[in-house]
Structure 1
Amino acid sequence: MDSDGDKQSKVVRYSGPIEKQTIQLDDEGKPLFSPSPLYSRYRYITENRNLDICVSEKEAGAVVVVNQAGKLRFRYTGHIPSSKNQPFSPRGITTDSQSHILIADANNECVHITDQDGQFLRYIHCGLSEPWGLCSDTNDYLFLAQWTNKQVQKIKYLQ
């Protein structure tokens, strides 16, 4: 997902080279995703097991989740840990086998875990400053990349 400065951001679903779906506006014609300045125009995106599309937007301080039809399901704006108390700053995003949504929060140095409906479940305090990139494997190991020193940590968070 990408936007060009003042242009509105959108998600496009492809089948090979053919554009199948564009997700850009809600039912009222309002943008689902915020435009971004050129210096920081990237979003992170993943698809859940139930085919929801989850997009983390750093500038908006939110995760936007739409269903397979492109309809807004919810926006998650963070559940700030009292120990850090910094604004929610979502970066990398992934989902797991239970359709949990995992979001790297660079400002608060943790990973937020929500259920598939955006209800906060818990944090993973990983001990990394500026956690950034996330992915999970089929065994529900979480791989977490740190921005500043390029370290990757492997975490088993589900038992």
Structure 2
Amino acid sequence: MEGNILQKLFSSMWYIRGNHTVTTEGELLYTNYSKNTVYRVTTCSNISVRKLIETGNWKPGAIYFSHIYGHILVGMGTILDEKITRYNREGRKLQDIQCDNEGQTLYQRVHFITENINGDICTADSSASKVVVVTASGKYRFSYSGHHSQLLFCPYGICTNVLGHILVCNNYFMYNTRYSSVHLLDIDGQFLSLLLTPKQCSPYPCVLCIDNQHNLWVGGWYSSTVSVYKYLQKTEN
């Protein structure tokens, strides 16, 4: 908690993906796409790293631990297909989320995963230039492809807050920083605001999270700095 290094872990990543998450017990889960494996790191007495899930022929990328259900959500793909698979905390497969209500593939690439307060699974798919949201049961709800105030949209880091708002980075790095921003959506995917405009935002934001004091933490591509913003006031309610 003082910022001292406990152990360094090296994992091959599949491009830029949210390949680590933390359980409610403080265990670190991370994916290794070259070994098609999810690992669990515990620090009870001694630091222990052990294999938790083997994903077969699917390459695991993004991972998220559900604080509502205590399940593990893993985005994974092959050359032709992409899906999210739900596991219990012991690593037993429970569910595949792959197609919408009409049988069409939901995802091109699952880059980041988060969960909303109603159990919705929110996914940033930068290859498809959209955010895809499904219910906890895997039923398609909506997609978000950016706001007309910004012509280009490339979502990466995504998280939600206590109000059910969805926050997502726009990181269209191939052009310039005029699209670098954080979009704020309501629980049904309606655009509320640019929470961070290009003038306020660090260049090329690609990861973000909210802590228990409602501070917003944002990390940028090509940057060694994490910026912290206060945008919600904590109340007794």
Could you say which residue in structure 2 is the equivalent of 1:95?
160
Structure 1 residue 4 displacement after superposition = 2.5
2:116, 2:122 within 8 Å by CA — same for their partners in 1? yes
What TM-score results when the alignment is normalised by the length of structure 2? 0.60
Structure 1 residue 5 displacement after superposition = 2.4
Gaps of at least 5 residues in structure 2 are: 1-74, 173-178
Could you say which residue in structure 2 is the equivalent of 1:149?
223
Could you say which residue in structure 1 is the equivalent of 2:117?
49
Q: Separation in 2 of the partners of 1:150 and 1:86?
A: 28
1:80, 1:88 within 8 Å by CA — same for their partners in 2? no
Determine helix, strand or coil for the equivalent of 2:201: coil
Q: Separation in 2 of the partners of 1:53 and 1:21?
A: 13
Percentage of identical aligned residues = 38
Q: Separation in 1 of the partners of 2:113 and 2:201?
A: 24
| Rg larger for | 2
Could you say which residue in structure 2 is the equivalent of 1:61?
129
Structure 1 residue 86 displacement after superposition = 4.1
Could you say which residue in structure 2 is the equivalent of 1:39?
none
Structure 1 residue 150 displacement after superposition = 2.5
Could you say which residue in structure 1 is the equivalent of 2:170?
105
CA change 1:127–1:28 in 2 (3 A) is closer
Gaps of at least 5 residues in structure 1 are: 37-41
- More RCO (CA 8 Å, sep 6+): 1
Structure 1 residue 60 displacement after superposition = 0.6
1:97, 1:138 within 8 Å by CA — same for their partners in 2? no
Q: Separation in 2 of the partners of 1:78 and 1:152?
A: 24
2:86, 2:93 within 8 Å by CA — same for their partners in 1? yes
After the TM superposition, list the runs of 4 or more consecutive aligned residues in structure 1 that deviate by more than 4 angstroms.
none
* Per-residue deviation, residues 64-93 of structure 1 (Å, max 9, x unmatched): 000011001100001143xxx441010100
How do 1:66-77 and structure 2 match up within 5 A? 66-77=134-145
CA change 1:64–1:49 in 2 (3 A) is same
Paired letter, 1:67: T
Could you say which residue in structure 2 is the equivalent of 1:121?
192
What TM-score results when the alignment is normalised by the length of structure 1? 0.88
Q: Separation in 2 of the partners of 1:9 and 1:72?
A: 15
* Per-residue deviation, residues 97-127 of structure 1 (Å, max 9, x unmatched): 1110000001211000000100000111233
